[in-house]
Amino acid sequence: MEGGKKRVATLVGCNYANTRNELHGCINDVLAMRDVLVSRFGFKPEDVELLTDAPGSPVLPTGENIRRALACMVASAEPGDVLFFHYSGHGTLISPARPFHHGSKRDEAIVPCDFNLITDVDFRQLVDKLPSGVSFTIISDSCHSGGLIDKEKEQIGPSTVTDRASPAAHYNQKLIPLDSLVQHLSSLSGVVSPHVGDHLWHLFGTEMSPSLTGRPANPLLKKSNDNDDGILLSGCQMNETSADMSPGNETGKAYGAFSNSIQMVLREHDGVLSNRELVTRARHLLREQGFVQHPCLYCSDENADAPFLWQPKPVKLKSSL
């Protein structure tokens, strides 16, 4: 596809302040991304929706609000549009509501500020609704984010990992283990059950992820995804964690390791970078910094070598001489 006529983004940063799951750099991550979207990638400020759990935030990044923002982007998309979603926050792995759907595989999910999970199946269904010729790029700086678009083709992932790094300085993991997740949800729902979906149904009803209700998926939403335009840049492999650096690091500023590596690569290379080049460079940079997470790329063969966010080519001004 060629550069889109409309560029729309939803940016979500969850710090979970004053909770046992508190992170520090997630809001900084999406604020930095908002700036670069406008200054480099041609996004209009009014077309970038920011959802954070900062004090006084007008719209919190709840599961319902994130789904609404993503659904609106997809519903209004037209051929040639460029859609973008950047999430920085906790991730988790959960047992699927329908085990026969995935076999023994767990579902990847992001954790909104109200714990109303959004799963890899939810993202797959969003991608499947895209009109032809619309690209949808997702950056997920969260634990277990590899494969967050269900069944998307792996371009850079676990099967291509050859490097191993020494652990970096102390950092927080963007991880909420399944047992901790169930314990927290149970304290809110009052329900005694090992199944995440039981708690979410009690807390959120029809606002919860349909993929966790146990009901069969709508067959009308399924289509071939061999050449779809979903593009996932994940902060780590499915079995790894992503790092959140606290303000005590050498920069004095909190940040997510993967989000920061993306920013650093973009600053160092002002030309057009493909999705493959961006992930490869971010992976090498994190290794040099001592992190043990391995960013991954999931998309079609064509989109792997397409420009990241279909970066507009600079316009050459004609000389008046």
Q: What is the dihedral of CA 278, 222, 122, 57, to 10 degrees?
A: 80
Which among 113, 143, 236, 296 is annotated as catalytic? 143
The structure tokens listed for 132 are 């032809």
Helix axes of 196-204 and 178-189: crossing angle, nearest 10 degrees: 30
Picking from 305, 314, 276, 312, the residue whose alpha carbon sits closest to that of residue 2 is 312
Picking from 162, 158, 118, the residue whose alpha carbon sits closest to that of residue 140 is 118
Q: Is 143 a catalytic residue?
A: yes
Q: Is 113 a catalytic residue?
A: no
Cβ atoms of residues 143 and 92 within 8 Å: yes
Q: Where are the beta strands (DSSP E) in the chain?
A: 7-13, 48-52, 82-88, 91-94, 107-110, 118-119, 135-141, 154-156, 172-173, 230-234, 243-245, 255-256, 296-298
Which among 90, 144, 199, 294 is annotated as catalytic? 90
Catalytic residue positions, numbered: 90, 143
